[in-house]
Structure 1
Amino acid sequence: MKEKIKITSVIAGLMIPAGNALAVSDVFRFVGHGPISTAMGGAATAYDVGAAGMMTNPATLSLMEQGSEIHVGFDVVIADISVKDQATGEVSSSRDHSKNRGPYAAPQLAYTYRNGSLALGFGAFPQGGVGTEYGNDGFLSRATGGLDTGLESSSRLLTMNIPFAASYEVNDQLIVGASVDALWQGLNLEMLMGADQVGSLMGSGRVSGTIVPVLGGLPDFRGAHFSFSRNHPVASGVDAWGFGGRVGMIYKYSPDTRIGVAYSMKSNIGDMKGDGVLTAVDAVAGQIALPGTVKIRDFQTPAQLNLGISHQVGSQWLLAADLSRIFWEDAMKDIDVAFEADTGQNIDILLPQNYKDQTALSLGAAYMTGKWTLRGGVRFATQALRSDTLLAVIPAIPNTFGSLGFSYQWSKASKVDFAWTHSFEETMENSRLPNTSDPIRAKHSQDSFGLAYTYRF
């Protein structure tokens, strides 16, 4: 296990805790990759965004200058997440507790090389994540009948993308590109389900296994708590490796206008596995902890289609737009949890999610003057989550963003890029079993800051 942590840390980089709540992005995906794209509202399909272009459209690597480039950067994300119990008025906030799940610095590292018509790239970028930290003394840690458990309620999902990309300039008008990506995904989860939630899942055929009759045989069963977390910046309670990839093209419609198309495939990540504890909560027998092995099955990132256009207006202005379709419906139907106790007993649970496919529009503008480039952008997306399947520990609901940023060219070889993104507060309510007992209202907004240094040689 120690070796596994070392390998993951080397590839993913050190995740440095910087506050009290890990943030969500546009569902589980960051709005942009690298400060240039992020400052332009996430638009990245049809213009040069540097090494991070391999995360959206690898064909953009051939828009870079000839030679080599090293990209080193990071993002710092700060979220404001709260969940209110509509029945009691109590509020649990994700700002007040942290165990390496909270706002963080996520590093980026890449190398690119362009020689003539061919460009190559390799990098490591955080692709997305979601997380909350509600502590152990709020209403989310209270079982059916108002029984306080002292058990934690939290989450952290992190997906790292390691692309190997290439692009080729076919002629003066057409560029094609592709990437093969290694993917690592890790999840921490601490979640209490009340007896009514467990009963609702049983009634809909979403729970099975030999532990089920054991829970039903307890004298006064009040709930069940899943726990699989690692108090570590990168390593998670359950994790898995997999692969993905994307293809893209750039068409130079005119000297000033470029059109881009890119398609990222649905991920193929193995079942996330790790050690965990299932705790049965009973008002008479107390808390009965069953250590064992947890498996999260078929938890994938969705396919995505991007259409982009960029237009140079004179020598100073650049305008860019991306229209994206993210195919969440195929990737996120259920959260499939399997638990096998060390005693050999097991339970399988399907938590309904039923995400909707999402459409997003990113708009950005850049103004170049001297050594400075000033940028701004917005992003609007349809809502992928359904209110009746909202989980308090996964409130991935923001869908409107604004961004600002700049680049400063220190020298011909060195450049610094910066971006700030704000996700405007979004609210969603859920009053239906099985994903909540009491009616809840979730609120979430966030700010993120990205900084990168580029050296060309």
Structure 2
Amino acid sequence: MKPNTTTRLLLLAAGVAAAPYALATNGMDFAGYGPIAEAMGGASYAYDNGTAAMQNNPATLSLMESDARFDVALGFLLPTIKYSPAPGAAEQTSDGTMYLMPGLGYARREGALTFGLGVMGQGGMGTKWGTKLSNGAPYENYSNIRYGKLIVPLSYKVTDQLAVAAALNFGYADMEMKMLASGADMYWMSSPATQAALGSMMTATLIGNPQAASLDFSGGDKASATGWGVRLGATFQPSDALTLGAIYNSKSHLSAMKGKVKINMMNTGGGVDTINGDLALPNFQWPDSYGVGAALHMGDLMLTADYERINWSKTMDTFDATVSALVVNGTSMAGEMNLSMPLHWKDQNVVKLGAQYRMDSLTFRVGANLANNPVPDGYANPLLPAIYQNHVTAGLGVQLGRSDSIDFSAVYTPKVSTTHTYHQGDAGTAAAAPGSITTGTGTSSAAGGGAQIMYSHLF
């Protein structure tokens, strides 16, 4: 069954909500969803934080003080990503220094039931290097991974103390990449069958000996997919002062991302061989996660804390790509190329701490977001810079009357550094004498900050 026009527009809206931030702070996820939660270290599982609950704990929608609420938000990410290709080499800085991320949500309560609709970004990552890392070659290094959602939440207040909820999301994800790799790296990323095919092409002089290769699937050739997922949540209030919360977020169910790719291979003779084909990324998904939290209310002061486990190892162990319908230097060829780049991301433990103090029409917030780096040493690819660990946060809420308010948040992220190991040499040498191929070590670092602003109207 083909999606109708309304469905296509809604999926497009979910994609627009994700555009084009290309960087996140807990792996590929944001440190906080919505400025209320972000200002308190991302903690959000056990108190009312607006319609951002659709991305946090949808059961907190049952804690809304009003019968209906509309939020519109805009976020800014301000990263500083740097890379040095070797010890002592000049450090280069990514040109991707600011990204915007809009979002909006509406929720309404009817009796014990609260429902709504939201368009929000889940996360992403990326960089813009231009030709800074290309060692004189006219090929860029660039990446942009995005995931946005159309969310339909439903929260039910079972008793005065207990609420349960589910938020079904329809997602749109896309990926653009321009990656320059050595011929040896291209060979090592190839499956045994693809290694043999490259060798046969060289033997038959269909291509030269690749010294370097540039993979490009960007712009109109980007890979994209649609899919779905669900977030479950619950809150329990054992007393007026204490609220407990818990969530489970399913792994995404995205279809295989598909696009077009162009591979330019610079050979040892100084020429360039070109392979065009259909691209499929069959295994790219967002992982499942789960968490628990608590909020303690003491008059105008609230203290809150969450713990979240994000299972990156289940979805980010390797980056796999298949290229089919091959056209080599203008000649169609049978078969396909299978490439796999090792990532070996680790699961991430995130602790989120926050405090809020209300004073008349103002609300002051502070927090911290503490996590391990999911990217292990040796695998910090400069195109996939999701290496952040800890964040310090603060924010302010301003009441503009009985029904309107504005909330702000700001994040500071200290610098984190880790390494990237790559192969040096051409594909022919890697095939004939793999023991002679050497490796190099580059260093990636990430720092920066961000901010969010949200306007809210209560009905």
Aligned residue number for residue 369 of structure 1: 359
TM-score normalized with structure 2 length: 0.89
Distance 2:241 2:359 in 1: 18
Aligned residue number for residue 456 of structure 2: 454
Distance 2:216 2:264 in 1: 8
TM superposition shift of 1:432: 5.0
Which amino acid letter does the alignment assign opposite residue 282 of structure 1? N
TM superposition shift of 1:201: 3.3
Q: Which residue of the other structure, out of 140, 146, 160, is the alignment partner of 1:152?
A: 140
Q: Are 1:362 and 1:379, in contact at CA under 8 Å, matched by a contact in 2?
A: yes
Distance 2:403 2:231 in 1: 29
Which amino acid letter does the alignment assign opposite residue 141 of structure 1? S
Q: Which residue of the other structure, out of 245, 257, 278, is the alignment partner of 1:293?
A: 278
Aligned residue number for residue 141 of structure 1: 134
Pair 310,14 (structure 1): closer, same or farther in 2 beyond 3 Å: closer
Distance 2:395 2:141 in 1: 35
TM superposition shift of 1:278: 1.0
Distance 2:141 2:366 in 1: 37
Which amino acid letter does the alignment assign opposite residue 298 of structure 1? N
Q: Which residue of the other structure, out of 103, 111, 124, is the alignment partner of 1:129?
A: 124
Q: Which residue of the other structure, out of 188, 199, 207, is the alignment partner of 2:187?
A: 199
Aligned residue number for residue 390 of structure 1: 380
2:102 corresponds to 1:107: yes
Distance 2:393 2:199 in 1: 49
Distance 2:375 2:364 in 1: 34
Aligned residue number for residue 117 of structure 1: 112
**1:251-266 aligned within 5 A:** 251-266=236-251
Aligned residue number for residue 243 of structure 1: 228
Which amino acid letter does the alignment assign opposite residue 329 of structure 1? S
TM superposition shift of 1:294: 1.4
Distance 1:364 1:236 in 2: 43
Pair 220,87 (structure 1): closer, same or farther in 2 beyond 3 Å: farther
Unaligned runs of 5+ residues in structure 2 are 425-437
Q: Which residue of the other structure, out of 318, 321, 324, is the alignment partner of 2:302?
A: 318
TM superposition shift of 1:291: 2.6
Which amino acid letter does the alignment assign opposite residue 228 of structure 2? F
Pair 402,287 (structure 1): closer, same or farther in 2 beyond 3 Å: same
**Aligned residue pairs: how many?**
433
Pair 84,62 (structure 1): closer, same or farther in 2 beyond 3 Å: same
Q: Which residue of the other structure, out of 216, 241, 248, is the alignment partner of 1:227?
A: 216
Aligned residue number for residue 10 of structure 1: 13
Pair 209,375 (structure 1): closer, same or farther in 2 beyond 3 Å: farther
TM superposition shift of 1:211: 4.8
Distance 2:413 2:83 in 1: 17
CA RMSD of aligned residues (A): 2.3
TM-score normalized with structure 1 length: 0.89
Distance 1:289 1:242 in 2: 33
Find the residue that maps to 1:13 and give its secondary structure: helix
Aligned residue number for residue 433 of structure 2: none
**1:33-44 aligned within 5 A:** 33-44=33-44
Q: Are 1:181 and 1:243, in contact at CA under 8 Å, matched by a contact in 2?
A: yes
Deviations 1:77-126 (A, max 9, x none): 1110010022461222103xx6xxx5222110111001221100210111
Q: Which residue of the other structure, out of 400, 403, 419, is the alignment partner of 2:390?
A: 400
Find the residue that maps to 2:48 and give its secondary structure: coil
Which amino acid letter does the alignment assign opposite residue 324 of structure 1? E
Aligned residue number for residue 200 of structure 2: 213
Aligned residue number for residue 145 of structure 1: none
Pair 119,16 (structure 1): closer, same or farther in 2 beyond 3 Å: closer
TM superposition shift of 1:438: 2.5
Distance 1:212 1:242 in 2: 38
Q: Which residue of the other structure, out of 271, 281, 295, is the alignment partner of 2:256?
A: 271
Distance 2:279 2:297 in 1: 52
**1:32-111 aligned within 5 A:** 32-87=32-87, 89-95=89-95, 103-111=98-106
Deviations 1:327-369 (A, max 9, x none): 1111111101111234245311011111111111000000100
